[in-house]
Structure 1
Amino acid sequence: MRGAFVANQLMRLADLISDQGELLLQDAGIEFPARAVSYILLIGEQREISTADIAKLLRQPHQVATQRVELLITSAIVERIADPQDGRRKILRLTPSGIEQFGRLQACLEKAARAFAGLFEEIECDMPAITRRATEALEQRSVLERVRAL
């Protein structure tokens, strides 16, 4: 029955990491929530990107991406402008405040990466590799298919 609780345990771990990530961001003077980190990274690294492109890259529903982007726009960290190549398309870019926050985020994430490397060594598990492998395996062959094969 150990496997029956895997999803619950993974959700609890994800929530714990997210909650502790919020504290880490606050300590670093970062003014946006942990759930928006991947958005800031994409916008900061790409310089200009659309909400639809973010949703596709993060494999999230467009509605979720739109909600997160609106939060960042309201916080004056991101701005939406018309695409000079295509007037119908809107692109996102960091505001001056967003650029400053992006720099803080990069420094914070460098330290967090070292802390997570220590954690993974402590628990003797390359968690990112394991979660990627599990996701890929379940995408190729679902739990239902695995049960039916028994």
Structure 2
Amino acid sequence: MTRFEPGTRIAAPVPLVFGLSLDVDAHTASMARSGERAVAGVTTGTVALGDTVTWRARHFGVVWRMASRITAYDHPTHCVDEQTAGPFHHWWHAHHFTPDGRGGTLMRDEIDFPAPPGPLGRLAERTVPDRYMPRLIRERNEHLRRVAEAGGAPGSGADRG
């Protein structure tokens, strides 16, 4: 099982950052490099407890589909998304939002996933956990930081919450 826990300080209030992190459009914009987009379930706007999203993206030159469901939701401090179908045997991603004491937010992710079985899994164990996946999450979080610190944007979840 691979686990990593990146943290990001964002100079914006917790409810705004929480809303952005659950916004499908903000996620899609943050993953533009891989062409990630929602293709089923909630495909635009904000997800909430019980909602599902099926993502399609290109990683390592391969098109992947991954469906996830919001399995925990405590506005505006915590939510969890878990894979229901896709490339991993298990994918669990908790998002935590706490005030930083200066009017901003500390956004912390906890991500657990095993590599897929077989030769692809062995390759993934050497590249995905240590480099690729943390970089994707850092890019996503940096995008959310920029949007939140600019006050949010229409359709970005900033007005929800």
By the TM > 0.5 criterion, same fold? no
Q: TM-score, normalised by structure 1?
A: 0.31
Kindly name which structure, 1 or 2, has the bigger radius of gyration based on alpha carbons.
1
Q: TM-score, normalised by structure 2?
A: 0.30
